[in-house]
Amino acid sequence: MTRANLPQEASAEFAPAEVQSFLAQVGQGIDSLVPRSEARFLPDSVVGSITLEVDGEQATFYFLVDEEERQGQNKPIAPAMAEAIDNFSQLSKQLLQRGGN
């Protein structure tokens, strides 16, 4: 396993307002995602997931990562959820870049 393939760990601190904003986006769009029991996507689709844990209870929801695939497979997600996913993706990239330096 090369260094690039090793698991990486990174962390970030957020202001309470940032966390509240992100959670509000997720809350507004969570109903547009589907649980595993309802997840039906075409083969070779890129599928993302988000796992939420509240009071020790976990729930994982799935979505098509690519906007064009979502349209083509008629699997839209709420605009607020799409924005939350984009924000989280950007944050992940920043953390991984920072962790790699």
Q: pLDDT value at position 6?
A: 61
Query: What size, in residues, is the chain?
Result: 101
Q: pLDDT value at position 82?
A: 92
Q: pLDDT value at position 89?
A: 84
Task: Go through 41-71 and write b for each residue having 16 or more CB atoms within 10 A of its CB, e for each that does not.
Answer: beeeeeeeebeeeeeeeeeebbbbeeeebbe
Q: What is the pLDDT along the chain (101 residues), one digit of tens a residue?
A: 555 556 566 677 888 888 888 889 999 999 999 999 999 999 999 999 989 888 999 999 999 999 999 999 999 999 999 999 888 888 888 777 776 55
Q: For the chain, where are the alpha helices, taking DSSP H only? A: 16-29, 67-72, 79-100
